[in-house]
Structure 1
Amino acid sequence: MTESNTDTTTDLAPHHSFFSRLYTGTGAFEVVGRRRLFYIITAVIMLISLLSIAVRGFTLGIDFEGGSKISFPAAENVTTEQVETVYSDTLGMEPVSVQTVGSGSSATIQIRSEELNLAQVNQLSDALYNEFQPKDSEGNPSRNEISTSDVSSTWGSQVTKKALIALAVFLVLVSIYITIRYERDMALAALAALIFDLVVTAGLYSLVGLEVTPATVIGLLTILGFSLYDSVVVFDKVEENTRGVLHLNKRTYGEQANLALNQTLMRSINTTVIGILPVIGLMVVAVWLLGVGTLKDLALVQLVGMIVGAYSSIFFATLLLVSIKERWGPVAAHTKKVLSRREQGRSGVARPAAAGSGAAPAARSARTATATVERPDREPRTGAPRPGSRPTGKRQKKRH
């Protein structure tokens, strides 16, 4: 009968779906408690990125390496393979890259090559005009539709230098703000997450072989703001949940931080998804409609950076904050105290009764163990009287 009632009660208990618990923040997903696993994952990602940067390097754009760029309107049947054949047959060498930008009537063939002299440019332009007959806006073949430009590598290096200066200033200002608004440990965790975002985003560009342009460097700066925003949102909830935690004996700092992660997890996911959608729209407009390479490079680095930033704010920044806190200081002492009390409570439940003891001592032991489980914040009662307590009547009678 009891089992039937228990089964009925279990069946009637409300079952919340995964997404419901995720949205309400009641999922109790253990993130901080498994931080060693996430540290390993983060370290592997970081190591792969650094190795790729050191071994493969980057595919630098023409703005960094310098060279010549030739472009002309693409006819319907023109392919990049045909353009590469004309280039190699005319100049006797291979181009660096040939790509089609845009689609339909606005499609353009762009050739990137080593720096060409004037004679080579004229020779290549004549060959491209004779082979593909590029047309102007009125539909007439025109040699003027073939444009050439020389790019110096100095401009790209200047952009990179200014970007690095801006990055250093940004990191200093962020550190000062978070230290004043929150505390030093949060500033260290946020800076570590920002460095992780930069290295992993750059490592992905190196690993996949994506071209690095000045727009990519500028895009790296834009993703730092998003990553910092997501981390600050979680830190704000951590600060709220851990306020006064040192005066309590039921939960540790790490457990309260894990609760904050659960409460802000859906917010982080929503922010990332909402931020990614416009970036994807920008990539669609840049690549298929307008054919603007700068917009494509800017949108691509933002897309990668937002995904990496969402990961670091949830699975790295807060976990690192907890590890720093539990390494030394009052939070470390409080965590040891709470865990020690819990261990005492568990040992009180599991301790067997002594051999030859009567029913009354066994009952007292059971009551003591139950009280210890129900109130883990209190010390377990023992046979010794509390300090300052007065003797009972039975003890007084024995004295007389």
Structure 2
Amino acid sequence: MSSKNPSSSSKWDFNFIKASKYFYGFSILITLAGIICLSIFGLNYGVDFRSGSNVDISVSKVVTQADVQKVLVDAKLDQEANITAGNDRVNIRFPEVLTDAQAQSLQSTFNSQIDNNASYEINTVDTEIAKELERNALLAIIVASIGIVIYVTIRFEWRFALSAVVALLHDAFLVISVFSILRLEVNLTFIVAILTIIGFSINDTIVIFDRVRENLRFAKKQTHADLEDVVNKSISQTMTRSLGTVFTVFIAAFALLILGSESIRMFSLAMVIGLLFGAYSSIFIASPLWLALRNKKKPSAAQPSKATN
């Protein structure tokens, strides 16, 4: 007679483990495309990670990109600058650091031709600072991953820890791959988004793993089918909570993407993409990986107790 688990009922009746092979294939495809793009083109770093100047101009009237381009020509400035023009703000990103004379020329020309009431904010990053920011961003992701491995290993076991870290690195790398493939700009807010995505991903994964551990106490654990049934039931029992959490954050991130300012556009986009990847990685990547690792475990401890009551 088997013990009854009060939480065994679920509204979701689906074989998540069987379906995971399609998600593994999709992830592998995006990962390979990302590796190729990163190898050939690298990332499209913003001014935060490369030397250059970022000029943010607040204006009192609508300014077009053509207006700003004419200012750059008359001020004898770099025509390779990236221009973003809006209703009340203009952003110009120069690949080279502006000198004081160039900055003054830009301001005076802009004031005389477009808006005499404009206000300016100029941020400059030199080569050494850009390299240091890049190293620190990578270090932050590595430290966060190590901390998660230690925490999950102590709370659960190494198989859970390894599966969780693979899932969160999967989420981070797929977002990076999409940004590389689409040549989207990577700046400091992008790194913040990656760390935030890692936090949400590990949270969902821990919820599922905690239910797996709980259900293992009430289930038979003798065959692969038994363990697969435990994982499927555990995912089903936490599905509503996981989707509800992700959907709530997704709506907020999507609203920021549509209605937010240009300065947080890449942060919002990275969050939207990362939440979509994270929504399925905890279910279709981490959990099946744990099952695969658990099935490799030697059944020596269970060998003497074949005869059951």
TM-score (normalised: structure 1)? 0.66
Aligned runs of 1:173-184 on 2, under 5 Å?
A: 173-184=147-158
Contact 1:84–1:95 (8 Å) recurs in 2: no
Matched, 1:119 2:93: no
Runs of 4+ with deviation above 6 angstroms: none
Unaligned segments of structure 1, at least 5 residues: 1-23, 137-144, 338-376, 378-400
The match for 2:299 among 321, 325, 330 is 330
Aligned partner of 1:309 among 278, 292, 301? 278
Contact 2:111 2:117 survives alignment (8 Å): no
1:49 to 34, 37, 44: 34
Partner of 1:278: 252
> Which of 112, 129, 133 matches 2:115?
133
How far apart, CA to CA, are the structure 2 residues paired with 1:92 and 1:169?
41
Aligned to 2:195: 221
Paired amino acid for 1:69: N
Is the Cα–Cα contact under 8 Å of residues 64 and 154 in structure 1 kept in the other structure?
Answer: no
Q: Which of 195, 202, 218 lines up with 2:176 in the alignment?
A: 202
Matched, 1:259 2:228: no
Cross-structure match for 2:209: 235
Deviations 1:87-132 (A, max 9, x none): 134426413211135x4xxx11111112233333333333222211
Q: Which residue of 1 aligns with 2:3?
A: none
Q: Which residue of 1 aligns with 2:6?
A: none
Gap change, CA 1:251 and 1:79, over 3 Å in 2: same
- The answer for the alignment partner of 1:355 in structure 2 is none
Does residue 169 of the first structure (1) align with residue 139 of the second (2)?
no
Are the equivalent residues in 2 in contact too, given 1:95–1:111 (CA < 8 A)? no
Say which one has the larger Rg.
1
Counterpart-to-counterpart distance in 1, 2:181 and 2:79:
24
1:298 partnered with 2:279: no
SS of residue in 2 equivalent to 1:116: coil
Partner of 1:398: none
> Is contact 1:67-1:151 (8 Å) kept?
yes
Relative contact order higher in (CA < 8 Å, ≥ 6 apart): 2
Task: Give yes or no for contact 1:68–1:150 (8 Å, CA) kept in 2.
Answer: yes
Q: Identity percentage over the alignment?
A: 27
Task: Give the count of matched residue pairs.
Answer: 296
2:125 matched residue in structure 1: 151
The letter of the residue matching 2:276 is I
The TM-score with structure 2 as length reference comes to 0.84
Gaps of 5+ in 2: 1-8
Distance across 2 between alignment mates of 1:271 and 1:191: 20
- Counterpart of 2:136 in structure 1: which amino acid? K
